[in-house]
Structure 1
Amino acid sequence: MILVDLAVRNLRRHAVRSALAMVGIVIGVLAIASLGILGASLSALVGGLVSDVSDTILVTPHVAVSSGDPFDPRNILASRISDRDVALIEKAAGQNRVIPMIRTAERLTAGETSGYVTVYALRPDDIPFLLDAEAGRYPESTSPGVMVGSLLAEDLDLGVGSRIEFANESVRVIGIAAERGMGIDINPDYAVIVTDARYPDEDPGMVVVKVRDPADIGEVKGAIESQVNRRKEKVDVLDSREVLQLYYETMDAISLFLLGIGAVSLFVASVSILNVMIISVTERRREIGLMRSIGVSRREVLRIFLYEALALGVAGSIAGGILSALVGYYASAAASGLLGGFVVPAGEAAVSPAVAGYIAFGMAFGVAASVIAGLYPAWKAAGLNPIEALRYE
């Protein structure tokens, strides 16, 4: 206990220098924990985008540069699935629901707001299968009205009966789609939903297959591939599990990269502590010599300096952990905001076990880095010759 008191006394004696060293630890812990939290939150948020569509198979046109990933920006190349291939997909899918989908963009004007909006065109019977109506009714082939996503309606202050300029004509909003969140099949919240009758000469750009029993998803996928790609590769077939795996691999890489940045920050902080401790040993050589001359052992001198490093690490890590929890919450909120607040509320992401684990890891890393940084100065102090130390000026 006396050794701990001596360590704390010295830190207080050089309060400014100790505080600056501790700030380095705070920043390092904050970096490694908050960046880890951000990576975990992104992984949880994005993973939730497809985890609720485990019964889904996505069929997209195959193009020469396509990677097979529906979220690869190279897949925006204009390409369609012919009616003949849709018929082959329906044959291979058997009793499972096949939903051809046209995705395009049209200019929309509501009041003084104007811009382009995503448009999903589906068969009238497929719209109620994929979407719930929050208000109003679903579009019909005989009706020129449109359904808008709930978040788009909220942003543009639209309701059932509102009139908008859509695709160079004045149409009425006949329905509001309930908020659904993002998915690999359809992302309607900021979109306009119409029937395929609006695009009679256009082939679908994507086909969604809803499998009744998720256990059969591999079998159905194989049947579609063998049926449509029998002679040449016309389509890419992905199920939601593969898309989820792609997301997780990407997010794991991002999390690892972010943790690496945090670890570098903590390494810089540990170098700062090493520097402070070496200066402290140099300044206190006479004090060390005096302690050694009255019977203090080398091990006890070593422990005094290790306690100083430990005190800096514990104090900085606790402060960094508290700040990390706060920063992590707002980082999660920012990540949620980037994805429209879908699937995982920021508060839930911020208090998840993974987030708590990152904070604990960051704090443990901070303490460990501080103690390791103090090893050499403590060893140097313990190895001083008492006579030479007393003569030091």
Structure 2
Amino acid sequence: MTGNVIFDLSVRNVRRHFLRSFLAAIGIVIGVIAITSLGIMGANLTLSVTATLSENSDIIKVSPGGGPGGGGGPGFGGGGGSDEEEYIDESQFKDIKQAASPNTVIPVYSESDTITVGDLEGRATVYGLDPDDIATLLTVANGTFLKSTSTALVGPTLAERYELKIGSRITIGDEDSDEGTSTVRVAGILEERGMTYDISTDNAIVVSDRWFTGFYGGEGEYSEVIVKLDDINDVDAVEEAIDDQLNRKEDEVTISDASRMMDSITSSISTIISMMMGIGAISLLVASVSIFNVMMMSVTERIKEIGILRSIGTRRSVVRRMFLYEAFILGMLGAVVGGILSMIIGYLVVLVMIGTTDYFFTFDSLIYIPYGIAVGIVVCVLSGVYPAWSAANLDPIEALATE
């Protein structure tokens, strides 16, 4: 019964000073929104990246590691040859193919070059692949796969940027370079792949390996080799086999898979989001100061009331509870409103920043809402501890004598 009366007194005081209480609660609302929305965005970003990379979990990428065959040669990476250029040579490729058997092994040529479409000029990555491997690795959304060595596939981002359509012509190269220029016709536009572990084709041009080596030279000098596994459970075994085959004496190649990239990216995202949430927590710190100030003002204004309660035998613990209830009410109101608004704002932030809300209504994402609400309430209650203690320890006689 006493508890109900004390709680009613706390509610009455919040209502009596509604504007002051409202302004104090606003700080909690903002703090909860900041922490919760950032947490939701981080969770959705992590889930989105993880899902994308999981689609490439059957991929092992072998890159040149600076050993024998990694010293460069005429033609690759610009056609002119440089001792600092690295590649995987034909002998190493055969070793990789043997070690990875019976899985599909795809050699990849690549070059960053100038492209011209009509009056527009820019740069893009040019990949050279065997036409049979292109069908294994990529999907055409519009058009067809390569029909001849003079045709090319383009990524959707590149197609949108240069307004490319089936049949459009792209001039690759620079007239002032040793290779000069060559023109290819768009045979197909690739399906959007987003973040991938093997080759990034959304903003690239894919040509046949014959066209690539005919234009840039460097036949048999690959920028990377992709191993597409028949069974993703063979990842460790295949990596170990390739490592034993090529890196026995010294490191000739670097072997990696999507899981390592996934761990690195998710770790980086987690660190960045934690830092941003720390910045968002500053608003909660400011709100806690506001709550503390409101509670101290409440104690000062109600000294005589406290004196009366103490003089009729009300215990100090009951007086403390009255002020802690008040802090709890402010925290609950601010945190719940902040949690509700976080659902709306978080959804919009995820939609704008990530571009998809596929993972919004998941446990890993929505768990930040009760987490934010709980933090907001705890901050408020802690802010009210000292004012409550101060009120409970007032001398009843001195309190009654206060004007």
TM-score of the alignment, normalized to the shorter chain, above 0.5: yes
How many angstroms apart in 2 are the aligned matches of 1:347 and 1:247?
Answer: 20
Say whether residues 1:263 and 2:281 are aligned partners. yes
Determine the structure 2 residue equivalent to 1:187: 200
Displacement of 1:111 in angstroms is 4.2
What is residue 340 of structure 1 aligned with on the other side?
none
Q: After superposing the two structures, state which structure 1 stretch, 371-380 or 260-269, moved more.
A: 260-269
**Larger CA Rg, structure 1 vs 2:** 2
Q: How many residues align?
A: 372
- Structure 2 matches for 1:106-121, cutoff 5 A? 106-121=113-128
In 1, distance between residues paired with 2:43 and 2:116?
A: 38
Tell me what 1:391 maps to: 401
Q: Quick one: distance in 2 between partners of 1:137 and 1:272? A: 65
In 2: Cα distance, 1:132 partner to 1:275 partner? 62
How much does 1:112 deviate? 4.3
TM (norm. structure 2) is: 0.86
CA distance in 2, matches of 1:9, 1:112: 73
2:390: which partner in 1? 380
Letter in 1 for 2:307: G
3-state secondary structure, aligned to 1:125: helix
Residue equivalent to 1:55? 58
Which residue does 2:209 correspond to in 1?
196
Question: 1 CA distance for matches of 2:30 and 2:182?
Answer: 56
Verify the 8 A CA contact 1:292 1:298 in the aligned structure 2: yes
Deviation at 1:295, TM superposition (A): 4.3
Matched, 1:254 2:261: no
1:292 corresponds to which letter in structure 2? R
Partner of 1:7: 10
Q: Is 1:352 aligned with 2:362?
A: yes
- Counterpart position of 1:312: 330
Amino acid across the alignment from 1:391: A
TM-aligned CA distance change 1:56 to 1:282, over 3 Å: same
Question: Per-residue deviation at 1:78?
Answer: 4.5
Aligned counterparts, 1:1-393, within 5 A = 1-62=4-65, 78-140=85-147, 142-167=148-173, 168-200=181-213, 201-202=217-218, 203-337=221-355, 346-393=356-403
Partners of 1:205 and 1:163 in 2: CA distance: 26
The whole-number CA distance in structure 2 between the counterparts of 1:322 and 1:198 is: 58
Mean Cα deviation higher: 349-358 or 327-336: 327-336
Distance in 1 (CA, whole Å) between partners of 2:182 and 2:143 is 21
Alignment RMSD (CA, Å): 2.1
Distance of 2:16 and 2:23 partners within structure 1: 14
Q: Letter of the aligned partner of 2:7 in structure 1?
A: V
- 328-337 or 308-317: bigger deviation: 328-337
Deviations 1:209-235 (A, max 9, x none): 011122222111111111111221111
Distance 1:78 1:43, change over 3 A: farther
Distance across 1 between alignment mates of 2:105 and 2:48: 28
Structure 2 counterpart of 1:8, which letter? V
Shift of 1:129: 0.5
For normalisation by structure 1, the TM-score amounts to 0.88
Paired-residue identity, %: 43
Contact persistence 1:139–1:145 (CA under 8 A): yes
Q: Given that residues 60 and 226 in structure 2 are in contact (C-alpha distance below 8 angstroms), is that contact kept between their aligned partners in structure 1?
A: yes
1:297-334 per-position Cα deviation (integer Å, ceiling 9, x unaligned): 33332222111101110111012112222221122123
Gapped regions of structure 2 (runs ≥ 5): 68-83, 174-180
Separation (CA, whole Å) in 2 of partners of 1:47 and 1:265: 31
